[in-house]
Amino acid sequence: MSDIDIQRETWATRAGFILAAVGSAVGLGNIWRFPFQVGQEGGAAFLLAYLLFIVLVGFPAMLVEFVVGRHTELNPVGALRAVGGGTWTYVGWIFIATGFVVLSYYSVVAGWTVRYAFLGLQDGYLADAAEAEAQFVSLASGLDAIFFHALFMAVVIVIVALGIQQGIELAVRLMVPAIVVITLGMAAYAFTLEGAGEAYSYYLSPEWGLFLTEWQSILPAAAGQAFFTLSLGMGAMITYASYLGEDQNLAEDGAIIIGFDTGIAFIMGLVVFPILFTAGIDPADPGAGAIFVSLAAAFGDLALGWLVGFVFFTTVAIAALSSAISLMEVVVSYVIDERNVDRKIAASVVGAAMFVLGIPSAYDLVLLDLIDLFADQILLVLGGLLLMILVGWVLPDLAVDELSRGIGDLGALAPAWIWAVRIPVVVVLIVALALGILEYYEFLTGEFAEWIADQ
């Protein structure tokens, strides 16, 4: 560690912190995964389960990451060493590893969105679903994908290299309002489409029958999505909160961040489904490349679809960028704090390494799945779970003390929060981890084994 005491950066304003956290939370998860999950897994019934998990699991877990970050003013490894010490330091390492691995392929997928935005401006989108799928397969892997992966990573490096105030805070001040305004604009446009009525009822009517028969798979999906969409389990919120200089009301901040994240996810459904229904495309079975296949085909069918598609994919790329910078900052903050490396060098080296690690994902979709499932369903959940056990069961007093800074006496909120972390959050994460391991095993012995055999 450094023996020179360098002044650690902080956010310039409270809004800067909130916007950065909203930017991190609103990403590919909100736009690609959320609407399709609601549509497929019971409509409003899924939505209610999801909201329950957001409040019961996501909110308490987010406050845990916030207090650990603000209390220690350190990167995740330093933070875990400071509050837990000993073996707990390894939990910090899990966060760094997760952030590293996730950004390597998140950048590949984000590169596709940039590619698809350009597609609108060049040749437009293909209306035929089979052709659209063939196009996706050819663009999603290979040189094209590697090029856009490199381009996206380069932009992330530049923003992170510029630092907290001049880089990240400035970028999110532009990006987050743009995402909100464009999303609302697209929802207004989607409202005018002829398929809107039918789409809304598909999206928003509760299918209790489906929910009651399949709750075993629907509930874990809702819980996992709640965790991922709020950027939990990777130390991103620890890192962002470590740059908080002053005492602000973290519970209020958390509620605002969650409100924005959920709002954007919900409104994205109001954008996506009217477009699909109007183009006569069945939203029930979107498959892996949903927005790049069925939605792109819908853009191919609509009047001025190239323009709508261009705006849509640009928005997705911006949302992915504001999430990606938080992932890179997790790793970069570690390199700066613990290795005493200059920020610009840290960002360049980390970004270059992440780019290289992402090349296999840009080379073959099965390799992307291999790494995505492992990071998303195992590493992320494991890191999150261990942190919740540490804070909820070992360090509740420290946590309550830290949360009360900027709020005052917490009253009944303190035990309510700690008990929410101790039981519902921990139980949900244990179940999610068990299911994640099972699913990964099935993937390794099924799809992946077949892929290996074909090579």
Residues that bind ligand PFF (CB under 6 A): 24-25, 27-30, 228-229, 231, 234, 236, 323, 326-327
The whole-angstrom separation of Cα 335 and Cα 99 is 13
User: 244: helix, coil or strand?
Assistant: coil
CB nearer to ligand PFF: give 31 or 426. Answer: 31
Which of residues 225 and 404 has its CB atom nearest to ligand PFF in the complex?
225
Judge contact between 242 and 75, C-beta under 8 A: yes
φ, ψ dihedrals at 41, nearest 5°? -110, 35
Q: In the complex, what is the shortest distance from the CB of residue 71 to ligand PFF, in angstroms, rounded to a whole number?
A: 19
Cα 356–chain centre separation: 21
Cα→Cα distances 406→67, 179, 185, 254, 322, Å: 11, 30, 36, 13, 27
For ligand PFF, the closer CB: 50 or 228: 228
| CB burial of residue 257 (10 Å; 0-12, 13-18, 19+) | buried
State in angstroms the smallest separation of the CB of 370 from ligand PFF.
19
What's the min distance (Å) between Cβ of 2 and ligand PFF? 25
Q: How far is the CB of 411 from ligand PFF (least distance, A)?
A: 31
Question: Rounded to 5 degrees, what are φ and ψ at 230?
Answer: -90, 10
DSSP tag of 88: G
Nearer to ligand PFF, 229 or 377 (CB): 229
* Cα–Cα distance measured from residue 234 to residue 97, given in angstroms and rounded to the nearest whole number: 9
List, as one string, the DSSP characters of 1-30.
--SS-PPPP--SSHHHHHHHHHHHHSSHII
Q: Which is nearer to ligand PFF, 126 or 236 (CB)?
A: 236
14: how many CB neighbours lie within 10 A of its CB? 14
> Shortest distance, CB of residue 425 to ligand PFF, whole angstroms?
17
The nearer residue to ligand PFF, 24 or 75, going by C-beta atoms, is 24
Find the shortest distance in angstroms from Cβ 234 to ligand PFF.
4
Q: How far is the CB of 98 from ligand PFF (least distance, A)?
A: 8
Residue 323 one-letter amino acid: S
Residue with tokens 């019971």: 42
CB of 376 to ligand PFF, least distance (A): 9
| Residue closer to ligand PFF, measured from CB, 305 or 383 | 383
Which residue type, as a one-letter code, is found at position 317?
A
**H or E element that contains 444:** helix 426-445
Alpha carbon 368 to chain centroid distance?
16
CA–chain centroid gap for 45, Å, is 23
Nearer to ligand PFF, 110 or 428 (CB): 110
**Distance between CA atoms of residues 164 and 155, nearest Å:** 15
Report, in Å, the least distance between residue 310 CB and ligand PFF: 21
State the nearest-atom distance from the C-beta of 24 to ligand PFF, in Å.
5
Q: Of the candidates 326, 324, 306, 368, which has an alpha carbon nearest to the alpha carbon of residue 145? A: 368
Whose tokens are 């909820």? That residue is 392
- Of the two residues 67 and 331, which places its CB atom closer to ligand PFF in the complex? 331
Q: Closer to ligand PFF at the Cβ: 101 or 126? A: 101
- Give whole-number Cα distances, 132 to 123, 126, 193, 241, in Å: 13, 5, 22, 42
Cβ 33 to ligand PFF, closest distance in Å? 8
- Does residue 288 sit in helix, strand or coil? coil
For helices 426-445 and 380-389, the axis angle rounded to 10 degrees is 160
Which is closer to ligand PFF, CB of 316 or CB of 390?
316
Smallest gap from Cβ 82 to ligand PFF, in A, equals: 20
Asked whether 305 and 299 are in contact (CB, 8 A), the reply is yes
Task: Compare residues 231 and 242 and give the one whose CB is closer to ligand PFF.
Answer: 231
Residues 6+ apart with CB under 8 A from 77: 89, 92, 93, 95, 96, 334, 337, 338
